[in-house]
Structure 1
Amino acid sequence: MSEEASKVILLVEDNPDDVALTLRAFKRSHLVNPLAVARDGVEALDFLFARGAHAGRAEQPLPTLVILDLKLPKLDGLSVLKALRADPRTRLLPVVILTSSKEEQDLISGYALGANSYVRKPVDFTEFVEAVKVLGIYWLALNQLPPRPATA
């Protein structure tokens, strides 16, 4: 497996249409990274911390990038972000909020809680594909990640 293909992305998104659009956008953009999907905030934290149904992931590395929606069932995106930043294992994990929210308070809260980027979902498919392509290129190819924390 190539180094790029081993960089897993976690998409935290409950809307099946947005999941399908993101998958299509990645494919059209020739981004080969595996995309794991969590459909609510609790599942996202279970995936990241290898708990519950995702306990088998304990030996696998964290995703390279989390793409996080804000409006999620069970646990909203801001609460997920707060939990990630509170844990030393995920404190430095890049998190991009990708949301349809136009609320200024969501933007402010996202950055205050440690989001690395905040992107409003374009409604137009072509613009959405371009946004995902740019996100992928920047976060997976250009961005220099911090070293992985030592595991306990």
Structure 2
Amino acid sequence: MPWTAINSLFDPFFPKGLQWYWKGDFVKALPDEAIDVHIANALEAPSSFCLMHLYPIDGAVQRVARDVTPWSARDASFSMVIAAISPDPKDAEALKTWGPCLLGGHPLNLEGAYVSFMDADEAGNRVELSYGEIYKPCLDQGEVGSEQPVPGQPEH
């Protein structure tokens, strides 16, 4: 199946015209308190389209040293993706406020994320936390922006 076909499989669930605000975080663990924070925030979502999902990070990822590749968040157990979504453009500000509320919701968030889930104003510190010293020359040369993928990673 061509990549474009795979990438369009979710199109019927998310029609054109929706307002989107994405955030992400790496998470070390999910204790009961963290789950309670996420449930409370879900109840405050600006629309029924808003969501948070987790992708496990395990196996070979933890067996590689932090300084071997440009990704240093080797102690992360999950990649958390927050998508604040609404069909109403009037919800744009509420979406921008709700998404970041889930970040830092518990002390086991690692303050890093994939570059594609960062705003330009937060990229510097969070990129360094996520990608360490190997990636620092790209930051110093201004080669990293919120819309750029990590070198060697596929674009979304």
Q: TM-score, normalised by structure 1?
A: 0.31
Tell which structure's C-alpha radius of gyration is larger.
2
Higher helix share: 1
- Higher normalized contact order (CA 8 Å, seq sep 6+, divided by chain length): 2
Q: TM-score, normalised by structure 2?
A: 0.30
